[in-house]
Amino acid sequence: MMMAGTNRDTTSRHARVHAPRDEATRWILVLGAPVAVAAAFFMAAVVTGVAWLIAPMIVAGSGGAIAFVFLALTSDTNEPAAVSTFEAASSTDAYAARDAA
């Protein structure tokens, strides 16, 4: 049954295609992968009792440290900052305000 007069967009869109790629999303994705892999190997080692599964867990955990360094070095720190209502006055403004009083 079709309803007349509806103005809904019925096209399906994938969330990742249309989501903005900001810095926080990049950090979560890059740091989350090594943690998830290490957790999977840890769970497999505990459930099966196979001791050699601890080695891939340690390697994946080390990948988390490498990912952290990579993200820190490639971080987008030159993006314009959001305007804050609590911005500090520059030193010349402070002297001008003191002299005007």
Domain map (residue ranges) of the chain:
35-74
Distance (Å) of CA 18 to CA 11, 12, 25, 29, 65: 13, 11, 13, 16, 30
Determine the pLDDT at residue 92: 57
Could you give the dihedral angle defined by the CA atoms of residues 14, 16, 19 and 20, in that order, rounded to the nearest 10 degrees? Answer: -150
pLDDT in tens, the chain (101 residues): 555 555 565 555 555 555 556 888 888 888 888 999 999 999 999 999 999 999 999 998 888 888 888 888 888 666 665 555 555 555 555 555 555 65
Q: Which residue has the tokens 């509806």?
A: 6
**pTM (whole model) above 0.95:** no
